[in-house]
Amino acid sequence: MTTETPRPTEATAATAAAGATEPAGAAVGAAAGQAQQEPTGSPAAARPAPAVRQTTNGTERGKERMVVFRVLVYVAVAHFLAFFLWLMFAVIGKR
């Protein structure tokens, strides 16, 4: 497998000599008389496709929420049981 490096064209050499800050592909298209393509305005066209697709589909976030919910339920139930025991001893202690 060999990879070839692209050779600079006359248009890119001329723009490089002139000190242009445009990308090389834009200079070649403009030098050849072609109109530069404007973005369509949609966000999907402006950003590239992701290289790696997400496979969890948000299940990790759901698991984290369930853990937080379970901890809150355990804490609430433990406090309720502690209050119930305290109330039992308070009622029995007054007799």
75's tokens: 């804490």
pLDDT one-digit tens code per residue, 12-23: 555 555 555 555
pLDDT one-digit tens code per residue, 70-89: 999 999 999 999 999 999 99
Report which DSSP code applies to 57: T
Higher pLDDT, 60 or 31: 60
pLDDT one-digit tens code per residue, 42-59: 666 677 776 776 666 778
Domains of the chain, by residue range, sit at: 70-95
Contact present, 66 and 50 (Cβ < 8 Å): no
pLDDT at 15: 56
